[in-house]
Structures are given as C-alpha cells and as structure tokens.
C-alpha cells in the first residue's frame, strides 16, 4: 500500500471510532445498499434463477427419471415405441395419399398406355398363334 492510502485509511478509521464513541455507546450498523433495478436481470420464466436451480438440484430429478426407467418393463417400452412408429408411418401414408393424388389427365394417359400395351400383346399373340399353326404342318 502506498503511504498516502495507508494514512487516509487510518485517519478514516480513527475518525469513525472517535465520533461513534462520543455520540453513543451502541454499535453502529452499516447502512444497507439498495440494489437498483439496473443491476438486476429481468425475471423471466427461463431466467438465470431457473438455470442455477437446475444446475444445483437437477441431478436428483435425473436420478429419479433413471430409476423410473429402470423399473419399466423393457418389453412394454419396446411395444410402446413400435406403436408410436406405426402411428407415424400411418400418418405419413395418409398424408401422401391425400397430397399425391393422380390427376384426371394422368389417369386418361395411363388408360391409353394400357390399351396400347394390350393391343401390342394381342398382335404378338396372334403372330405367335399363326406361326404355331404353320409350324404344326411342318412337323408331320
């Protein structure tokens, strides 16, 4: 400490002792400093107090959850997980059925393609039938 600072501290200490002894024999209480709202953080639902509380006491909550999970039957847990996945798949299928409907034009084009394929197959089968008839006579 510097000499000036030490001297000031000593003078301040002696002056408070002398004045308090002369005024009253009761011990003086230091006035409490009031915190201004600028110094404090705003209270929020997800504020620092809750975060601090979770850091301090969250381990007990986690242990309780782990204990409950250990008590559960693993087969029931697996079954519930499968049911949830099936529900999600069913929901997705319903969504795609609704959103991916075929338009009328596409249906007409599919019918035309189907008819053209049937005609092509019919012509091929007729040609194959005619060839078989001709080949039947050659075998004898």
For residue 24, the 8-state DSSP code is -
pLDDT band at 23 (very low <50, low <70, confident <90, very high): low
CA–CA dist 95, 89 (Å, integer): 10
Average pLDDT over residues 108-120: 92
Question: Is a pLDDT exceeding 80 seen at residue 86?
Answer: yes
pTM over 0.75: no
The end-to-end CA distance of the chain, in Å, is 131
């Amino acid at each position: 400490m510097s000499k000036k600072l030490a001297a000031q501290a000593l003078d301040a200490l002696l002056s408070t002792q002398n004045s308090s002894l002369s005024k009253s024999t009761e011990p003086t209480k230091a006035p409490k400093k009031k915190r201004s709202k600028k110094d404090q953080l705003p209270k929020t639902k997800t504020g620092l107090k809750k975060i601090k509380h979770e850091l301090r006491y969250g381990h007990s909550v986690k242990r309780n959850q782990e204990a409950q999970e250990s008590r559960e039957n693993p087969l029931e847990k697996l079954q519930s997980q499968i049911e949830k996945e099936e529900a999600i798949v069913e929901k997705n299928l319903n969504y795609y059925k609704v959103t991916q409907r075929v338009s009328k034009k596409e249906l007409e084009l599919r019918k035309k393609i189907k008819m053209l394929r049937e005609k092509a197959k019919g012509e091929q089968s007729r040609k194959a039938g005619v060839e078989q008839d001709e080949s039947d006579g050659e075998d004898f």
